[in-house]
Amino acid sequence: MVLRQDHCAGEKLFVDFAGQTLPITDPVSGAVSDAELFVAVLGATNYTYAEAVPSQELPHWIAAHVRAFECFNGAPQILVPDNLRSAVTRSHRYEPDLNATYQEMAAHYGCAVIPARAYKPRDKAKVEAGVLLAERWILASLRHHTFFSLAEANIAIRERLDRLNERPFQKLDGCRRSLFEQLERPVLRPLPACPYEYATWKQATVNIDYHVEVDHHYYSLPYQLARQRVDVRVTATTVEMLLRGRRVASHRRSHVRGGHTTLAEHMPESHRRHLEWTPGRMVRWAEASGPQTALLVNTILRRWPHPEQGFRSCLGILRLGKRYGNDRLEAASARAVTLGAFSYRSVESILRAGLDHQPLPRRSATATPATTRRHDHVRGATYYQ
C-alpha cells in the first residue's frame, strides 16, 4: 500500500541532482566536463527550478539553493534533500547528522531540514518526478547542443524550464506557474536582507600559544582557552571561533601562509607587556625619571647589536626608580654616564652605596669614550672617587 501525500502550500521544497549530466566543452582545449543538473520542486504546486552546476560538491550545492530561493522570491518551511554527502554527513533512519554548512544555510532562511530516508524514494517522490521531467524536457532536448560554458548552458536550461512550468496541466486548470503564483508565492517565507554567505566549518584544538591554524595561517583566541576544542567557521572574508555555540573570537581572514593574526586582548598581561618593549618606548619610560636616565637607557640600547639584548638591563634600571625614587635614579644615571658604567649592576651599586649624593667626578680628557668600552664590569679608578 502507498500513502498519498498532500502537501501544504509553502511547506516543503524537494531538492536533488538529476541522474544525467550535461557535457560542457572547453573552447580552448576541447576537453569535455560533465555539469550536474540541480532540481528543486515545491511540494504543493510542483513548480520546478533547475540549473547546471559544476559538481555536487558543497559550495555548488549551497549556491544552487540560494539561487532557487531568489527565483521563488521566498523560502519554504522544510527542505527535503536526498542523503548525498553535501547534505547529510551520516545517514540514519531516525537521527541523521546534517552537514554543518547546509544546516547553517537553512537556518539563515528559516528552514528546517528533513532528509528523505535512505533507500526510500517515495519520501521524495515529488523531486523524483521533477527530475524525470527535467531530464525529458531539458536534458533530452539539449542532447544535440554543444555548450562552451555553464552560463551558456543555463540560458538554454532557463528557456526550457519556463516552458515546463507554463505547460498546461492535463487534468487541472492552469499550469505550474499560475498555481505557484496563486498558492505558494504568497505563503513562502520572506527572504532575509542579505543572501547566505558560504561558510565551511571545522573543529580545532587551541594550541598552547592560544592560536588555531586555518589554511596555514594562525588566529588568536583568549589565552584562557588554550588546549580546548572549538568550532571554526570560515567564510571568504572572516574566521570565527565558537565554544559550545558561543562566539569567542573573530578575525578578518588572511591568506598569508605561516602568518599570525593576534589581538592584544587575547594575550596574557605578561605577553602584552613584553610586546610593549621597544627601544623608543624604553627611552620614553626613562624620560619620566629625567634626561640623564633617558641618555643612560638610550646608550645601553645602542651599544648592543640588537636593542632587545639590552631590554632587561633597562627595565631593571627603571625599576630602581620605584625603590629609590626618580630623583636619586636620575642622579645615579648621571654619575653612571659620566663614568661610562653602562649597566644595571653599576647603577644599583651607586644607589646602594649612596654615591649618587656625591659630586660628579671630572671626566679625564684622555678617557676612552664610553660608547667604545666593551667591558662594563671593569669600572676603573674614577668610579670610587
Residue with cell 509553502: 10
- Residues 135 and 116: their CA atoms lie apart, in Å, by 21
User: What pLDDT score does 156 carry?
Assistant: 93
Whether the pLDDT of residue 314 is over 50: the answer is: yes
What value does the mean pLDDT take over residues 173-179? 89
Q: Which of 46-60, 80-94, 210-224, 319-333 has the lowest mean pLDDT?
A: 80-94
Q: 123 pLDDT band (50/70/90 cuts)? A: low
CB 296 within 8 A of CB 342: yes
The distance of Cα 111 from the centroid of its chain, to the nearest Å, equals 25
DSSP state string for 43-70: TTT--EEEEEES-SSHHHHHHHHHHHHH
Neighbouring C-alpha atoms within 13 Å toward the C-beta of 252: 1
Q: Of the candidates 67, 70, 73, 62, which has an alpha carbon nearest to the alpha carbon of residue 106? A: 62
- Residues 243 and 229: their CA atoms lie apart, in Å, by 8
DSSP state string for 81-111: E-S-TTTEEE--SSSPEEPHHHHHHHHHTT-
User: What pLDDT score does 4 carry?
Assistant: 47
- Residues 298 and 300: their CA atoms lie apart, in Å, by 6
pTM for the full predicted model: 0.65
User: What pLDDT score does 36 carry?
Assistant: 94
- Residues 51 and 38: their CA atoms lie apart, in Å, by 5
- Residues 212 and 229: their CA atoms lie apart, in Å, by 10
Whether the pLDDT of residue 233 is over 50: the answer is: yes
Please state the domain extents for the chain. 12-187, 200-267, 277-384
pLDDT in tens, 43-102: 888 899 999 999 999 999 999 999 999 999 999 999 999 888 888 888 777 778 899 999
What value does the mean pLDDT take over residues 305-325? 84
What cell numbers appear for 93 in the block? 533512519
The residues facing 217 across adjacent strands are: 214
Q: Which of 18-22, 220-224, 306-310 has the lowest mean pLDDT?
A: 306-310
What cell numbers appear for 245 in the block? 555555540
- Strands (DSSP E) found in the chain: 12-25, 32-42, 48-53, 78-81, 88-90, 97-98, 112-113, 200-205, 211-214, 217-220, 229-234, 238-243, 246-252, 260-261
β-pairing, 211-214 vs 217-220, is antiparallel
How much of the chain exceeds pLDDT 90, in percent?
A: 51
12-187 falls under which CATH superfamily?
Ribonuclease H-like superfamily/Ribonuclease H (3.30.420.10)
Whether the pLDDT of residue 375 is over 70: the answer is: no
Q: Of the candidates 14, 1, 4, which has an alpha carbon nearest to the alpha carbon of residue 124? A: 14
- Residues 218 and 232: their CA atoms lie apart, in Å, by 12
What value does the mean pLDDT take over residues 349-354? 92
Spatial neighbors of 216 by CB under 8 A, at least 6 apart, are 257, 258
pLDDT in tens, 269-310: 877 766 666 788 788 888 989 999 999 999 998 888 777 778
What value does the mean pLDDT take over residues 222-235? 93
What value does the mean pLDDT take over residues 34-50? 91
User: What pLDDT score does 381 carry?
Assistant: 46
How much of the chain exceeds pLDDT 70, in percent?
A: 88
Q: Of the candidates 190, 196, 223, 219, which has an alpha carbon nearest to the alpha carbon of residue 208? A: 223
Whether the pLDDT of residue 1 is over 50: the answer is: no
Q: 116 pLDDT band (50/70/90 cuts)? A: confident
What value does the mean pLDDT take over residues 143-161? 92
